[in-house]
């Protein structure tokens, strides 16, 4: 039996201009393995907008359209409407945006698309900052992190606000399917992409997307750090289907310092500060488990 | 006046595969596979962000024209049969 556990077909070409070890490349690779070739993407300003390279180069075997930074939600509704007018039903419309383009500048367009119940999938690849413009903090940057605009320094000016909870925001729109996915667990990822494709209505996928330069880590650690995010419960893998939560892959419950210590963006944190993060992760994960038990 | 999509000015379209970009030239470290030690687990193929690995009879064949040398394959290989060696300056 072949040990290959995800579809072998590739919808991405080599030669993209992402950094070595870019997690966002893996997010797209697994997403398209799940969705298949009848897919069309709209992508705003973000690292993925530059991934295809200079004209006339394109790094995917499916079409992608560029939209304005704040407009992914509007763009995907327009694309769905155009395909409907043309009578094309078998194409999955995907909005694919970064965390800044999702939780900050694109939030109102995203909210509009969810409220309109557009039959489309929105994927947020979350590298936890505005990477393409040089690692500025976003609403998705976690508490405690160094970025270019939270530069630590002598006044220890790291990010002091918690990460925006985009999954709860999307759930509050009453959408039929939302899920978190990890590049360290492609089987779970592909399964969720396939599921999202078959659900009618507005679907949301939140992918943690390690970024070696932005997270200040060795590029060879991209998959390892994503695995540790799951195993320390920093980024639990779950799905919310018609309002019911299910944890799809249990982590090992490792201490959060295992996740933090391989990323220099957290290198300035004191033991006391790491403890504070641990408590916050513990309480969020406990709430998730309790909710799953209630609804299961 | 109603207007058709045909009135929209033409837009540049990129239609050439990115295999035109020789990203292997960026590489600082090169993955070297000891195929005799390979267990055919396919993990290296699964986790390569650049789709630069193809499987030949279950074993990896790395396309060095595109491999950026990130080292993920070496880090993920449980059999430890991939090592990263520094590229020589020409
Ligand atoms: C309206 C507008 N404001 C600002 C920019 C500049 N800009 C381009 S990409 C980017 C960062 C995007 O961050 P994110 O959405 O997190 O994606 P990432 O680059 O991290 O992949 C910014 C600020 C822009 N293109 N358009
Ligand atoms: S900056 Fe980060 S997200 Fe952007 S291409 Fe590089 S590794 Fe990927
Ligand atoms: S070093 Fe990186 S780009 Fe090269 S084959 Fe290994 S995983 Fe792929
Ligand atoms: S990860 Fe290592 S053992 Fe597994 S297929 Fe690749 S080279 Fe072989
Ligand atoms: Mg980002």
* pLDDT mean over A213-228: 98
What residue spans define the domains of chain B? 28-89
Distances in whole angstroms, Cα of residue A190 to Cα of each of A44, A226, A243: 23, 16, 21
Q: What is the pLDDT of residue B90?
A: 58
Please work out whether the CB of residue B70 comes within 6 Å of at least one atom of ligand 4.
no
Whether A292 contacts A241, CB under 8 Å:
no
Question: Which residue has tokens 């006339």?
Answer: A56
Query: What's the confidence (pLDDT) of residue A192?
Result: 99
Q: Which long-range contacts (CB under 8 A, 24 or more apart) does A193-197 make?
A: A193/A30, A193/A31, A193/A33, A193/A34, A193/A35, A193/A121, A194/A34, A194/A35, A195/A239, A196/A34, A196/A121, A197/A34, A197/A35, A197/A36, A197/A92, A197/A121
Band (B3; pLDDT cuts 50, 70, 90): confident
Q: Given A13, A55, A186, which is nearest B12 (Cβ)? A: A55
- Provide the Cα torsion A177, A183, A186, A190; round to 10°: 30
Give the minimum alpha-carbon distance from A176 to chain B in angstroms, rounded to a whole number: 30
DSSP, collapsed to helix, strand or coil, labels residue B23 as helix
Q: Which of residues 188-207 of A touch B (CB under 8 A)?
A: none
Q: Please, which residues have CB less than 5 A from ligand 5, an ion?
A: A 98-99, 127, 131
CA distance A205 to A34: 13
The CATH classification number of B28-89 equals 3.30.70.20
Could you identify the atom of ligand 2 that is nearest to the CA of residue A212?
7
Q: Given this model, what pLDDT does residue A6 score?
A: 98
- DSSP per-residue codes, A121-185: EEEEEE-SSBTTTT-B--TTSPTT--BTTB-BTTTTB---SPPP-HHHHHHTTT-SEEEEEETT-
| Residue A244 phi, psi dihedral angles, 5° rounding | -105, 135
Q: Residue B12 has what pLDDT?
A: 84
Put simply, whether B32 touches A (Cβ < 8 Å) is: no
B39-85 pLDDT tens trace: 999 999 999 999 999 999 999 999 999 999 999 999 999 999 999 99
List C-alpha distances in Å: A138 to A96, A141, A270, B4, B82: 17, 5, 23, 39, 37
Average pLDDT over residues A122-134: 99
Residue B46: strand, helix, or coil = helix
Could you report the per-residue pLDDT of A147-179, keeping only the tens digit for each? 999 999 999 999 999 999 999 999 999 999 999
For residues A114-131, average pLDDT: 98
Q: What is the pLDDT of residues A195-220, one digit of tens each?
A: 999 999 999 999 999 999 999 999 99
pLDDT at B9: 85
pLDDT band, very low/low/confident/very high, at A1 (cuts 50, 70, 90):
very low
Residues in a beta bridge with A156: none
Residue A83 to residues A40, A42, A63, A120, A204, Cα–Cα distance (Å): 10, 13, 14, 12, 20
Give the model's pLDDT for residue B88.
87
Whole-number pLDDT of residue B1: 64
What structural domains does chain A harbor? 23-295 (3.40.50.970)
Mean pLDDT of A44-72: 97
Inter-chain CB pairs, A–B, below 8 Å: 114
| Residue B5: how many other CB atoms lie within 10 Å | 7
CA of A134 to the centre of ligand 2 (A): 10
pLDDT at A17 over 90: yes
Q: What stretch of H or E contains A245?
A: strand A244-249
């Amino acid at each position: 039996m072949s040990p290959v556990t995800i579809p072998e077909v590739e919808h991405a070409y080599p030669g993209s201009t992402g950094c070595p070890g870019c997690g966002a490349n893996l997010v797209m690779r697994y997403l398209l393995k799940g969705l298949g070739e009848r897919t069309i993407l709209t992508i705003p300003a973000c690292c993925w907008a530059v991934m295809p390279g200079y004209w006339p180069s394109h790094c995917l075997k499916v079409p992608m359209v560029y939209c304005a930074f704040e407009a992914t939600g509007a763009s995907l509704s327009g694309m769905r409407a155009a395909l409907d007018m043309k009578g094309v039903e078998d194409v999955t419309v995907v909005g694919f945006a970064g965390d800044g383009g999702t939780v900050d500048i694109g939030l109102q367009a995203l909210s509009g698309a969810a409220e309109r119940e557009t039959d489309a999938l929105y994927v947020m690849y979350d590298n936890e900052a505005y990477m393409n413009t040089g690692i500025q903090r976003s609403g998705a940057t976690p508490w405690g992190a160094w970025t270019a605009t939270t530069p630590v320094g002598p006044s220890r000016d790291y990010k002091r606000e918690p990460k925006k909870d985009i999954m709860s925001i999307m759930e509050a729109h009453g959408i039929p399917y939302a899920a978190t996915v990890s590049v360290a667990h492609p089987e779970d990822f592909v399964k969720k992409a396939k599921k999202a494709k078959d659900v009618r209505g507005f679907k949301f996928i939140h992918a943690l997307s390690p970024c070696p330069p932005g997270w200040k880590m060795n590029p060879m650690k991209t998959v390892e750090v994503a695995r540790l995010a799951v195993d320390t419960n920093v980024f639990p893998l779950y799905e919310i289907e018609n309002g019911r939560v299910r944890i799809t892959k249990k982590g090992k419950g490792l201490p959060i310092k295992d996740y933090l210590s391989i990323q220099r963006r957290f290198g300035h944190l004191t033991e006391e500060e790491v403890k504070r993060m641990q408590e916050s992760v513990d309480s969020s994960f406990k709430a998730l488990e309790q909710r799953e038990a209630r609804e299961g | 006046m109603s207007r058709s999509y045909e009135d929209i000015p033409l837009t540049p379209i990129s239609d050439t595969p990115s295999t035109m970009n020789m990203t292997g030239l960026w590489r600082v470290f090169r993955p070297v596979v000891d195929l005799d030690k390979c267990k055919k687990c396919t993990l290296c193929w699964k986790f390569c962000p650049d789709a630069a690995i193809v499987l030949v009879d279950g074993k990896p064949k790395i396309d060095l024209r595109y491999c950026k040398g990130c080292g993920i394959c070496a880090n993920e290989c449980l059999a430890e049969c991939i090592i990263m060696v520094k590229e020589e300056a020409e």
